[in-house]
Structure 1
Amino acid sequence: MAIKNVVVAGGTGALGTPITNALVQSGFNVTLFTREGSTSTPPAGVTVKQVDYKSVDNLKAALAGQDAVVSVLGSFVIGEQKPLAEAAVASGSTIKRFIPSEFGINTRQTPGSAIGKILGSKTDLVDFLKDAADKNPNFKWTGISNGHFFDWGLRHNSLGLNKETHTATIYDSGNERYQTSNLPFVGKAVAAVLKAADTPADKTANQYIQIASFTPTQNEVLAAVQELAPDVKWEVKHAKSAEVQKDGEERLSKGDFSSFMPLLSVWQFADGAGHAPDIKDPAFGNNVLGLQPENLKVALAAWLGE
């Protein structure tokens, strides 16, 4: 591997932990950046450094000897990616690859939309990385979009299924395909990107890729759940995406950022949304990285059995 030493910023959260575990299992030397004063428990097998995410100089010093950075900084502190990126591209930096906290929907498609207003700092950060790579051929970046977090979304009722109340919310016809990934699958994708990075096999340098554990429809997911739990009767509710979108935009105009989840549901599930990647496209991230799709029913059975 041309890249050996990897920093993970935000590596103790719901997504950061499986990413960190995948990197450790793939043989990388992993260092976790944590906020000064953090009491989070890091995964086993990593080095921990406390940093000041607002100080470029502090971050530059902490990045000494590292080859790559994976940012998993959450939405509430996403602005702190900028100093981290500035430190990574600073003169004399050894960082060869920067993977920003793009995990989620494809933000390159969102400018001009309501949800794009919420994700603007992510869009700006990728623009910054693109400019940096143009100016410095030794520095490269890779954006990874994975759509909805499937396993996490099932547990937190953000996919329209609530197993406690046995209710299912279906947007429009329920036949729109959407992009979604289990958290460990995202970790596998990050590891695959960095394994090939800065080698002749590298196909993701300065690229934005989309991955997915699967690209189902809401109706397919509900049918699979009903098959796996035939004795349970699910109450199906229907939502009109146009109404949800209008309400979300009105709330957002008043500074209510809790509108993100409804707007995200419309973005993914609305009839004609068209945001699911073409799994047969050679440029689809799974195909580029050699990742096999996962089994929808296995993921659902695990959730039902929790």
Structure 2
Amino acid sequence: MAIKNVVVAGGSGALGTPIVNELVKSGFNVTVLSREGSTTTQPAGTTVKHVDYKSVDSLKAAIAGQDAVVSVLGSFAIPEQIPLAQAAFAPGSTIKRFIPSEFGVNTRKTPGSAIGKILGAKTQLVDFLTEEANKNPNFKWTGISNGHFFDWGLSRGLFGLDREKRTAKIYDSGNERFQASNLPFVAKAVSAVLQKADTPDDKTANQYFEIASFTPTQNEVLAAAEELTGGDKWTVNRVSSAEVQKVAEDKLSKGDYSVFVDLLSVWQYADGAGHAPNLADPALGNNILGLGHQDVKESVAAWLKE
């Protein structure tokens, strides 16, 4: 591997933890950045460095001698990626690859939309990385969009399925395919990018990839849950994506950013949304990175057994 030493920012979160574990398992030397004063522990074999995410100098010192930076900073910390990126491409930096915290929907498609207003900081960062990569050929980045966090979302009721009450919330017809990935699958994608980065056959430099464990419909997920719970039909509550979008946009106009989940649901599930990638597309991240796909029914079964 041309890249060996990797820094992870936000390595203790729901996605950060499996990413750190996968990188360690893949043979990378992993350093996890942690906020000053944090007492969060990290897996054996990692190095922890405390930083001030608002200070470029603090970040430059922490990533000195490293080969790559993976940002898994959460939604509220997304603006702090700018100082991190500035440190990564500062004169004298050894960073060869920067993976921003793009994990989620493809933000390159969101400008001009209601959800794009919430995701604006992500869009601005990728624009920033693109500009810097054009100036400095030694600096490269890779964006990874994975859609919904499927396993994590099921466990938190974000897909409208209630396994105790046997109820389901379905948007419109429920037949729109949507992009979804399990957390360990996303972690494998990150590792695969870094294994290919800065090698002769690297196809990941300055690219924005979509990946997906699968692209099911809401009805397919519900059918799997019904089959796995004995075959009885669950109670379905159908909602209009147009109505949900209208209410969410009104709240957002008043500064209420709690509507993100509603806007995200409409973005993914609304009839005709068209945001699910084609799993057979050779340009899909799955196929570029050699990830394959997963079985949505197996993921639903794992959730039902929790």
TM class by shorter-chain length?
over 0.9
Q: CA RMSD in A?
A: 0.8
1:14 alignment partner, SS class:
coil
Gaps in structure 2 of 5+ consecutive residues: none
User: Matched residue of 2:263: which SS?
Assistant: helix
Q: Does 1:138 align with 2:138?
A: yes
Deviation at 1:231, TM superposition (A): 5.8
TM-score for the superposition, normalised by structure 1: 0.99
Q: Which residue of 1 aligns with 2:100?
A: 100
Q: Distance in 1 between matches of 2:171 and 2:190?
A: 31
What residue number does 2:147 align with?
Answer: 147
Is residue 110 from structure 1 mapped to residue 110 from structure 2 by the alignment?
yes
CA contact (8 A) 1:67 1:96 kept: yes
Matched residue SS, 2:58: helix
Q: Does 1:196 align with 2:196?
A: yes
Structure 1 distance, partners of 2:68, 2:266, is 35
Structure 2 partner of 1:167? 167
**Is 1:267 equivalent to 2:272 in the alignment?**
no
Contact 1:142 1:208 in 2 (8 A): yes
Counterpart-to-counterpart distance in 2, 1:197 and 1:53: 25
Structure 1, residues 179-209: CA drift from partner, whole Å, max 9, x if none?
A: 0000000000000000000001211100000
Residue range with higher mean Cα deviation, 37-46 or 224-233: 224-233
In 1, the alpha carbon distance for the partners of 2:283 and 2:190 equals 16
Q: Which residue of 2 aligns with 1:79?
A: 79
- Secondary structure of 2:13's counterpart equals coil
Contact 1:12/1:43 (<8 A) preserved: no
Q: Which secondary structure state, in structure 2, belongs to the residue aligned with residue 144 of structure 1? A: strand
Is the Cα contact below 8 Å between 1:149 and 1:182 reproduced in 2? Answer: yes
| Cα distance between partner residues in 1 of 2:232 and 2:258 | 31
Distance 2:204 2:32 in 1: 23
Q: Percent identity?
A: 74
The answer on 1:22 being equivalent to 2:22 is yes
Is contact 1:8–1:71 with CA below 8 Å preserved after alignment? yes
Structure 1: distance between partners of 2:243 and 2:160? 16
AA partner of residue 59 (structure 2): L
1:18 and 1:206 map into 2 onto residues whose CA distance is 24
Residue type of the alignment partner of 1:261: V
Instruction: State the AA in 2 paired with 1:259.
Output: V
Gaps of 5+ in 1: none
> How far apart, CA to CA, are the structure 2 residues paired with 1:250 and 1:41?
41
Partner SS for 2:31: strand
TM score, norm. by length of structure 2: 0.99
What is the number of residues matched between the two proteins?
306
Q: Whole-Å Cα distance in 1 between the matches of residues 259 and 55 of structure 2?
A: 31
For structure 1, which segment, 288-297 or 265-274, has the greater mean C-alpha deviation from structure 2 after superposition?
A: 288-297
Mapping for residues 208-247 of structure 1, pairs under 5 Å: 208-230=208-230, 233-247=233-247
Give the C-alpha shift of residue 175 in structure 1: 0.4
